[in-house]
Amino acid sequence: MNLLYIIRKNTQRFTKTIKNKNYKNIFYSDTFLLKYLTIDTMLHHYTVTIILIVLYTNTLISASSQSNTDPQIFEDPLSGVRFQYSDDWIKQDSFLYGAGSACTSLPCVRLPEVSVMTSPIAFEDFLLANYTKQQSLSHEEAAGYEPIALNETKIGERDAFQYIYRTTSPFLTENEEIVYHEISTTEGINLYKVTFTALQDEQYNNYLNSFKKMMETFEIIS
């Protein structure tokens, strides 16, 4: 039972003796009331103090949680690109992997993964649209590949093309299908390609929005 409730009920019970003619009883009742009113006030004081402590603790926890969700920076001098990523991912060398992911087979296939490739453009009349179209056509003719989408898009502030296809990996134990989501752009004589690789359906869908947010912050730094 609530301590404050018990105190108040006892206070009411003892103060009824004030109706008696006996002055001592009146004095005792007043003294008892004063003591319990003091306790009542102290309980209110401690209650307010506890509430303030809880609120302060919750504020600290919230601030700590917020700091942990701040975006991190992927910057790779070899590929010459930079972008932000969330704590859904961890960086290892020049790759990003889904947090908590591990090799599921040997040789190691660790998914989901984000990788960046930079390569020189081999010929002067290079067109990104033709490059991605040719890639799609080659997959249509090859066994085990299935093109899903090919369209223009943005990567950061840059015009780009995205090409999405799926295939079956012989390195996965159950021959699960893998989705490759590639976004390509150019700068000067270089082709930049970012590839998001994940198991089809659930894993791909779970990480897709996170990948798209990365690409909104994409920059070429060299």
Q: What is the pLDDT of residues 52-111, one digit of tens each?
A: 444 444 544 444 433 345 789 999 989 999 999 999 999 998 999 999 888 766 677 789
Residue 17 has pLDDT above 80, yes or no: no
User: What are 111-132's pLDDT values in tens digits?
Assistant: 999 999 999 997 878 999 999 9
CA-wise closest residue to 158 among 130, 203, 190, 134: 190
Q: Specify the pTM.
A: 0.68
Residue 182 has pLDDT above 90, yes or no: yes
User: What are 127-158's pLDDT values in tens digits?
Assistant: 999 999 999 999 999 988 999 999 999 999 99
Edge-first strand listing for the sheet containing 219-220:
72-76, 81-85, 219-220
- Token couple for 42: 């102290």
Q: Measured between alpha carbons, how far is residue 49 from residues 3, 33, 64, 116 in Å?
A: 17, 24, 23, 54
Per-residue model confidence (pLDDT) at position 86: 95
